[in-house]
Structure 1
Amino acid sequence: MFKSPQHSGSAYYNYKKSFSIVLLAICDANYVFTYVDIGAYGRQSDGGVFKNSLMGQKFAQGQMNVPPAEEIYEGSSKYPYALVADEAFPLSPYLMRPFSGRDRLSTEQKIFNYRLSRARRTIENVFGILAAQWRIYRKPIIGKVETIENIVKATITLHNWLRKKDISNREQSFISAGMIDEEANDGSIIEGN
């Protein structure tokens, strides 16, 4: 979120009725950003941003060096690697999204949506960590779009460096207790702060 640039019209005006640029990202299970696209207009849908981004185009063209399909367990069918996304994204061979139409879903579809949602929690948490750890995201940023993009790049780079340091030292000093979502023994979700 940022203060509207002069003469930008509605290009950066988003559905939350504020001005923003889009940070589209992929992360790993350790809350490390692995690929980011920064700077699309806030008015664009996430699916549209992905389709038009270099990342989305490379996925569509099969140029992202994704490992080949493999067995989940010995003797099982081979399954492809795929991105996990929400309903704003189109279904594709490299991207899974939930089934739509909550009222008409079969039990199997509801279970799939639940498990997909659990997998998506990682990227939702990494965005939450970024916003919680870097105070600049707590209020609208005043600056040129280019400066704001550089701030986002810098905080992502620092975030990744701190996460990798935690991982190599086998500690959690950057992500404090209670910051990320956790699953209770009964399967319920304890939301992080």
Structure 2
Amino acid sequence: MQYISHYCSPIGGILLAADDIGLTGVWFEGQKYFALSLDKEHEEKELPLFEKAKQWLDIYFSGKEPDFTLPLHFTGTAFQNEVWEILCTVPYGHTMTYGEIAKQVAAEKGLPHMSAQAVGGAVGRNKISIIVPCHRVVGTNGSLTGYAGGIHKKVKLLQLEKADMGSFFVPKSGTAL
């Protein structure tokens, strides 16, 4: 059984989802893939985990790095879960490129290379936004593409973390906007 709760962030409403293992979803309302993995039968209920998640988000949106972790339950494919685990290692206020993640996945699998586009597909389907920081992934050329919550939210999250935005840009067009 999955449970849901709502959180009002400074940059938009957020839907939280969890099961008995951990958080299964943190989506900005209206984002791409919104609540895609949410069970049709779910219940709105305030769980202790939601209380902790909201505390984490309050700290985060105050411009500070939360000093505790939350139990997560990844429900993607093995490849997606592997990519999402790597996302959890990207430090607050820093970024990583899709290519760097692809190299890390390839090394872990003993492969000569891995497609950065495949990594981008997994990053884009991250169900636990912000807490699993997919907003910290950028293009090799500094392009700020590929955030399901919207590019403007990605920019605000990176600015909130005081990431060095000097070499980043929002592309004028493209499929990943």
TM range (shorter): under 0.3
Point out the structure with max Rg over C-alpha.
1
Q: Which structure's residues are more often helix, by fraction?
A: 1
